[in-house]
Structure 1
Amino acid sequence: MTSILLVEDEPFVAELVEEALSEAGLEVKVARDDRAAFAALEGEARSFAALVTDVNLGPGANGFEVARRARELNADIKVVYITGHAAHLARQGVADALMFPKPFDALELADRVRGLCDS
């Protein structure tokens, strides 16, 4: 089964996205902050096909920094950002990443992630 790391600090959004990704047939590990994301990546980076991360994770590292670390550990990991500030932030992310502006349709997000993982 394809494994995804979801990094989202808002519990409602994390639950909504986790459910949609699971329904799309993906195995989802959820990290609620930057520390949990880095710990998951340090231990399992090679097992994740994709990283779905909010850009603003509260205090600490942001989603761009999480994605950069993910790519250092697994150059092939697909990255999808979710954010309320997509327009002016797009250039700060890693190359070849998708940017999903909030609000978004969780099922559409799951379909796009599934497609990335299948490509």
Structure 2
Amino acid sequence: MNAKVVLLVEDEALILLDIEAALVDEGFDVVPAINGAKAMEAFDADPSGIDAVVTDINLGKGPNGWDLANHIRAHQSEIPVVYMSGDSSHEWSAKGVPESTMIPKPFVHAQVITALSSLINHSDQA
């Protein structure tokens, strides 16, 4: 079985590297992006090559996590999306894409891994 490819989007480099290492340790392949624009570029370059998205909400200048997920879901309506946020989790029900998950910061890696694996398993069974 091929490893699932996760588009990981986080504007804080140390957090990005930390989560990337945790995902790789769990057997995922990771496409890291430091902002929404880079994430959209990576996705648009190979939409079928991305199996899931883990994104922060506030990504600095340019598209935010809500914008990114909506852009991706316009092309892949069932792709699993996990949001991470320290201050925007209260907006998830209004701005998040359907059947996504919100992980409030701070979190432990296991929360992201569990949420991601659950959404991927659900998506694979659909």
Task: Report the TM-score, using the length of structure 1 for normalisation.
Answer: 0.93
Distance 1:52 1:94 in 2: 13
Partner SS for 2:51: strand
**Residues of 1 paired with 2:20 and 2:97: CA distance?**
23
Q: Which runs of 4+ in 1 moved over 3 A?
A: none
Check if 1:110 corresponds to 2:97: no
- Provide the aligned C-alpha RMSD in A: 1.2
Give CA-to-partner distance per residue, 1:17-62, whole Å, 9 cap, x none.
Answer: 1111111111100011111111011112222111000000011111
C-alpha contact (below 8 Å) 2:73/2:79 kept by paired residues: yes
| Other structure's SS at 1:53 match | strand
**Deviating more after overlay: 12-21 vs 86-95:** 86-95
Q: What percent of counterpart residues are identical? A: 34
**Contact kept in structure 1, 2:57 and 2:88, CA below 8 Å:** no
Question: C-alpha distance in 2, partners of 1:75/1:52?
Answer: 15
2:104 counterpart residue number: 101
Deviation at 1:115, TM superposition (A): 2.7
Deviation digits for residues 79-111 of structure 1 (CA, Å, limit 9, x no counterpart): 000001244211211111100000000133123
**Unmatched segments (≥5 aa) in structure 1:** none
The aligned length equals: 119
- Looking at structure 2, the residues matched to 40 and 72 of structure 1 have their Cα atoms a distance apart, in angstroms, of 15
Which amino acid in structure 2 is aligned with residue 110 of structure 1? Answer: I
CA contact (8 A) 1:24 1:111 kept: no
Residue number in structure 2 paired with 1:6: 8
Q: Secondary structure at the match of 1:116?
A: helix
- Tell me how far apart the structure 1 counterparts of residues 25 and 118 of structure 2 sit (CA, whole Å): 14
Q: Please state if 1:43 is matched with 2:45.
A: yes
Gaps of 5+ in 2: none
1:88 has 2:83 as partner: no
